[in-house]
Amino acid sequence: MPTRRVVIVGGGTAGWMTAAALAKLLPGRCDVHLVESEAIGIVGVGEATLPHIRAFNERLGIDESDFMAATRATFKLGIEFVDWGRVGDSYIHPFGTFGPGGGEVDFHQFWLRLRQQGIAVPDLDRFSMACTMARMNRFALPSRDSRRLDSTFGYAYQFDATLYAPYLRRIAEGMGARRTEGRIVTVHRDGETGDVTSVQLESGEKVEGDLFVDCSGFVSLLLDKTLNVPFQDWSKWLLNDRATAMPCRTEGQVTPYTGVIAMPYGWRWRIPLQHRTGNGYVYSSQFLSDEDAAQALIGAVEGERIAEPRVLRFKAGRREKSWVKNCVGVGLASGFLEPLESTSIYLIQAAITALLELFPEKKVSAIDRDEFNRLIDLEYDRIRDFLILHYHATERADTPYWDYVRTMDIPDSLAEKMDLFRRRGRVVKYREGVFLDASWVAVYLGQRVIPQGHDLRADAPSAESLIAGMQKLVREIQGLSSGMEEHSAYLRRYCPMKEAA
Amino acid sequence: MIAPGTGERMRDVLVVGGGLLGWSAAAALRRKIPALRITVLPLPPPVDALAERLSSTLPSIVEFHRDIGMSDGDALLRANCGFRLGTEFQHWDGPLRSYVHAYDRYGQAFGTASFHIHWVRQAQAGSTPPFDHYSPAAAMARAGRFVLPEADPAHPLAHFEYGLALDAQAYPQMMRAYALHLGAVERPGGFKGVRIDGESGFIAAVALDDGNEVKADLFVDCTGPRALLRGQLDRAFEDWSRWLPCDRLLFADAAPVADPSPLDRAIAHGAGWRWVAQSRSRTSHGFAYASSELSDDKAARTLRGHAIADPLAPIALRQGRRPQPWLRNCVALGDAATMIEPLEWTNLHLAHSAIDRLVAMMPDRDCAPVELWDYNRQCAAESDRVRDFLALHYAASNRDEPFWRRMRDVAPPESLAHTMRLFAERGRLPFYEDETFARDSWLAVLLGQGIIPRRTDPLIDSVPLAQSEQAMAALRDGIARMVPTLPTQAEFLTHLQRQAAR
């Protein structure tokens, strides 16, 4: 089998995830060579993740507790959104279902029906294992028996991304991937085809390859700087173009969920790790200066600062194509969506999965490339709509920032989805894609998009039987959750981090 | 009169059409949304309503029955239903070739790659038995045998699904009785016309030939291709004849055989294809052909020769779909929404699927456009993929006649071209929402018609060729040993009847 020389441009999370996956899963098909420079900092995006990452780690044969100890990780059952619909509101977007799952009529339809009948029913998140566990600060691994209620949640991790890359590097190098240290100064291309043939380092060394993976982050060395692939700008819907990040000591709970707190000109994250809490303020520079953002963040965090605020700049959108000629963009080099729903590492993973499935021969076929681009565009476009929903579905009018997003024109694809939900709580169904029904329901209802009607099939059972069923469900969820270990205690037992050297 | 925008609850539904489709819709609506008052105007189905006429059905009918609370066994035996496992396609990929499309898992994935990649690699390396030799249900069907799927997932017969072979008289009667039992009301009468409200454009009432009219909030049109109600609102139509060229159908019924095969046959012909489907009540023969290639007389003679029975008058078929099966307060089901040839037996399946959707999406009386938009979008996505699946049989044929050569030269719909392109390149099947046929069905037809991917997925490298061959041989041997021990369909039906009698 002919091997292909794959050159990965840039280390960091995207680079080492790609290197480890290719080296581990396509041995014999490719020689992996990663070029990175320690002089260039890594963004280290996405300390909070989505459940999909577990499948990625599993494919690489990674032991969960070892990985969690090494990256000082905590468990994540969802995201708590604070102050989004109105100041004072709070809801959790859980990884998991509302109600027992399954069944032909979605659980929230029965819930809507009773509410519309004027019957007092508990908040929807009381019917979610993940929300309940999160609020009670408990954790246990989900059951594998799909008939059980404690199988109805998923989980992800909150971890130190700057430790994940080195962890993957050990795996990749163990599988034969090579690493070269150095800053790239020139990209050489074939005069006829325009394909990239090699990258040249400051030292003069040339690294040649057949396929190049652009993991150079915002710099987008190959896709943007070399191939000039146009960027689709989404900043008219997703205004934020700055983040200021600052870790602090943990004073509050080590919560099994990420905090996302709306701010006057954006939002703030709270990501508890084992040894510290990550914080950041994502905002729009049109409305807020970097200094004021840093001050606002310092004023908001719970514990002593561990570092000074550090500013990141970005723009929401994606490259019109993520794979052009023999260059594939993975991660920030191909696009950026703010970490509101922790999608950064997911998008890296989606690109890697597609690359593995569409891995080219010596000569890149347009068929593979087009399919890759179709899949990646779909991922970006669906997440885009989901993110815009968070801004648009608000009653906040306390700053010009919120006035703008509340009243802005939104993409038709989202406007139709929202209309449909407002009618009778219907969620446009996809069988594939990152955010499924329960996610949309959580955000709609959590941000006061309230349906006028409901699915008429939910009228079939009697109100009494529904109420009794719901009471039982809440009791069971409550009982199962309170029987679980406290989150920090679980971490101490399962995956305690090694003391920093 | 209905005032759009009032948001009042839907109450009265009139189903127009008294065949199996109208009664199935009535039963499902009553069962799932008991607050609806359902009236059925039982017009006899026209001869060109294919969803009513074809006795072969896809596995989704079993799900439909379960959904509306109709237990499979007893009622179906009384309605004289039989079982079917799939279709044998003869001579599509050139003469003397045949393949079986069963509703089954073909082979078993091992290592990091799906089964068909192993098969493709073996095929590229030399030879391997045809793809359908790895489907237990296909082998069972070829041998004329039948059992129900096993519950234990480790059993080789755990992964197939089966369709039903319906009795054209007994089945609609049973569905009618069931709908009436659930509380649907029959309103006998002849159709005279519809009265449309001038302001809203909604249908206000259906006028009957006895001088009365029936008002309703929603009108469900199950009147076949002419779409007596829905056709009054607009005539927009998306034509598929470029890709599905048959525009004539002939039917001929012959006497039933004692032990009907659970495998029906679709046999390619110089100007179309014909079928033979055995059920407990008849042996159905049919012929779909292009009138530009073959005269009706010649077609009738051909079919008579095979069926040893006189064909009925030819039916004209215009394949395609309404862009909006649901407009205002009228929704078209079955042939009133989509007209498609019987290849792969999708007609009733599409109708059932639309009924499920109608139930799930039932709007208020104002039939808000945003809700209808979602309904129509899903119907379109589903029927376009069914169109693709059928068009594949033509696009990938290997026959020599001018008709077939021409079909190969027609550019397929883009979504099908996408599937064929990716598959031919590296055996990959792209994912589409609202897909009727499972991946293994696509594989059965793609590989059955001789589209062999140019290269294999690199993920298979970790399994050596010899190890694949060993595992594949074990699968084949297991199937070959098992099939002769299974009962024939007649034996199995007798067994079921005895059980029911107990």
Tokens 């959904």 belong to B67
Identify the closest residue of chain A to B11 by CA–CA distance. Answer: A456
* A465 sits in which H/E element: helix A463-482
Instruction: Determine the residue among B355, B370, B456 to mutate to test chain A binding: the one whose Cβ has the most chain A Cβ atoms within 10 Å.
Output: B370
Instruction: Determine the residue among A106, A365, A367, A428 to mutate to test chain B binding: the one whose Cβ has the most chain B Cβ atoms within 10 Å.
Output: A367
Residues 33-52 of B with CB under 8 A from A: 33-36
Per-residue pLDDT, A1 = 52
For residue A31, the chain B residues in CB contact (below 8 A) are none
Tell me the pLDDT band of A40, cut-offs 50, 70 and 90.
confident
How far apart are alpha carbons A227 and B275 in whole angstroms? 55
Verify whether the Cβ–Cβ distance B422 to A432 is below 8 Å.
Answer: no
Look up residue A305 and give its DSSP letter: B
Q: Does the beta carbon of A1 lie under 8 angstroms from any beta carbon of chain B?
A: yes
Instruction: Determine the residue among B30, B374, B434, B436 to mutate to test chain A binding: the one whose Cβ has the most chain A Cβ atoms within 10 Å.
Output: B374
How far apart are alpha carbons B297 and B295 in whole angstroms? 5
How far apart are alpha carbons A28 and A1 in whole angstroms? 7
CA-based nearest distance B301→chain A, Å: 46
Strand, coil or helix: A197 = strand
DSSP string covering B332-395: E-GGGTEE--SGGG-HHHHHHHHHHHHHHT---TT--HHHHHHHHHHHHHHHHHHHHHHHHHHH
Q: Does the beta carbon of B417 lie under 8 angstroms from any beta carbon of chain A?
A: no
**Which ipTM value was assigned to this complex?**
0.91
Closest CA to B453 of B407, B420, B405, B417: B420
How far apart are alpha carbons B320 and B338 in whole angstroms? 6
For residue B254, list its beta bridge partners: B283
Per-residue pLDDT, A500 = 54
A398 touches A264 (CB < 8 A): yes
Look up residue A85 and give its DSSP letter: S
Q: Which CA distances in Å does A137 have to A492, B82, B185, B221?
A: 14, 56, 56, 55
Tokens of A80: 């708590």
Q: Does the beta carbon of A455 lie under 8 angstroms from any beta carbon of chain B?
A: yes
For residue B363, the chain A residues in CB contact (below 8 A) are 423-424
Q: Which CA distances in Å does A157 have to A93, A144, A237, A350, B287?
A: 15, 19, 28, 17, 60
How far apart are alpha carbons A93 and A153 in whole angstroms? 12
Per-residue pLDDT, B38 = 98
Pairing type for strands A242-245 and A277-283 reads: antiparallel
Per-residue pLDDT, B8 = 87
For residue A361, the chain B residues in CB contact (below 8 A) are 455
For residue A311, list its beta bridge partners: A244
Per-residue pLDDT, B77 = 82
For residue B373, the chain A residues in CB contact (below 8 A) are 416
Phi-psi region of A61 (alpha: psi -120 to 50; beta: other; left: phi over 0): left
For residue A26, the chain B residues in CB contact (below 8 A) are 458-459, 461
Q: Name the catalytic one among A76, A321, A325, A417.
A: A76
How far apart are alpha carbons A107 and A99 in whole angstroms? 6
Q: Does the beta carbon of B370 lie under 8 angstroms from any beta carbon of chain A?
A: yes
How far apart are alpha carbons B116 and A11 in whole angstroms? 36
B252 touches B304 (CB < 8 A): yes
- CA–chain centroid gap for A93, Å, is 13
Across the range A80-100, mean pLDDT stands at 97
Asked if the model's pLDDT at residue A378 lies above 60, the reply is yes
Asked if the model's pLDDT at residue A252 lies above 60, the reply is yes
Identify the closest residue of chain A to B34 by CA–CA distance. Answer: A460
Instruction: Determine the residue among A25, A420, A456 to mutate to test chain B binding: the one whose Cβ has the most chain B Cβ atoms within 10 Å.
Output: A456
Strand, coil or helix: A459 = helix
CA-based nearest distance A455→chain B, Å: 7
For residue A424, the chain B residues in CB contact (below 8 A) are 363, 371
Instruction: Determine the residue among B11, B64, B124, B361 to mutate to test chain A binding: the one whose Cβ has the most chain A Cβ atoms within 10 Å.
Output: B361
Per-residue pLDDT, B18 = 95
For residue B428, the chain A residues in CB contact (below 8 A) are 357-358, 371
Residue among B34, B112, B425 minimizing CB distance to A460: B34
For residue B68, the chain A residues in CB contact (below 8 A) are none
Q: Does the beta carbon of A65 lie under 8 angstroms from any beta carbon of chain B?
A: no
How far apart are alpha carbons A157 and A155 in whole angstroms? 7
CA-based nearest distance B466→chain A, Å: 16
Tokens 């077609």 belong to B299
Q: Does the beta carbon of B430 lie under 8 angstroms from any beta carbon of chain A?
A: yes
Residues 50-69 of B with CB under 8 A from A: 67
How far apart are alpha carbons A128 and A107 in whole angstroms? 10
For residue B360, the chain A residues in CB contact (below 8 A) are 104, 455, 457
Identify the closest residue of chain A to B366 by CA–CA distance. Answer: A423
Pairing type for strands A327-329 and A211-214 reads: parallel
Q: Does the beta carbon of B428 lie under 8 angstroms from any beta carbon of chain A?
A: yes
Residues 299-358 of A with CB under 8 A from B: 356-358
For residue A3, the chain B residues in CB contact (below 8 A) are none
Tokens of B282: 């008849």
pLDDT truncated to tens, each residue of chain B (502 aa)?
344 444 689 999 999 999 999 999 999 999 999 999 999 999 999 999 999 999 999 999 999 999 999 876 777 888 999 999 999 999 998 777 899 999 999 999 887 789 999 999 999 888 889 999 999 999 999 999 999 999 999 999 999 999 999 999 999 999 999 999 999 999 999 999 999 999 999 999 999 999 999 999 999 999 999 999 999 999 999 999 999 999 999 999 999 999 999 999 999 999 999 999 999 999 999 999 999 999 999 999 999 999 888 999 999 999 999 999 999 999 999 999 999 999 999 999 999 999 999 999 999 999 999 999 999 999 999 999 999 999 999 999 989 999 999 999 999 999 999 999 999 999 999 988 889 999 999 999 999 999 999 998 887 888 899 999 999 999 999 999 999 999 999 999 999 989 888 7
**Out of A177-191, A423-437, B15-29, B372-386, which region has the weakest mean confidence (pLDDT)?**
A423-437
For residue A104, the chain B residues in CB contact (below 8 A) are 67, 360
Q: Does the beta carbon of A366 lie under 8 angstroms from any beta carbon of chain B?
A: no
Q: Does the beta carbon of B143 lie under 8 angstroms from any beta carbon of chain A?
A: no
How far apart are alpha carbons A470 and A61 in whole angstroms? 40
Verify whether the Cβ–Cβ distance B364 to A453 is below 8 Å.
Answer: yes
Across the range A60-89, mean pLDDT stands at 97
DSSP string covering A318-386: EES-SEETTEEE-GGGTEE--GGGS-HHHHHHHHHHHHHHT---SSPPHHHHHHHHHHHHHHHHHHHHH
Q: Which CA distances in Å does A388 have to A98, A238, A273, A410, A414?
A: 23, 7, 28, 8, 8
Tokens of B154: 């480790």
Closest CA to A353 of A31, A71, A34, A17: A17
Q: Does the beta carbon of B462 lie under 8 angstroms from any beta carbon of chain A?
A: yes
Verify whether the Cβ–Cβ distance B33 to A359 is below 8 Å.
Answer: no
CA-based nearest distance A460→chain B, Å: 6
Phi-psi region of A363 (alpha: psi -120 to 50; beta: other; left: phi over 0): beta
B287 touches B274 (CB < 8 A): yes
How far apart are alpha carbons A111 and B226 in whole angstroms? 42
Identify the closest residue of chain B to A368 by CA–CA distance. Answer: B422
Radius of gyration over alpha carbons of chain B, in Å?
Answer: 23
Q: pTM for this structure?
A: 0.94
Verify whether the Cβ–Cβ distance B462 to A368 is below 8 Å.
Answer: no
Phi-psi region of B372 (alpha: psi -120 to 50; beta: other; left: phi over 0): alpha
Check if A76 is active-site.
Answer: yes
Q: What is the 3-state secondary structure (H, E, C) of A234-255?
A: CCCCCCCCEEEECCECCCCCCC
For residue B102, report the phi and psi dihedrals to the nearest 5 degrees: -105, 160
DSSP string covering B210-262: TS-EEE-SEEEE-S-TT-TTGGGT----EE-TTTS---EEEEEEEPPPSS--S
Look up residue A286 and give its DSSP letter: T
**Average pLDDT over all residues of chain A:** 94
Verify whether the Cβ–Cβ distance B362 to A420 is below 8 Å.
Answer: no
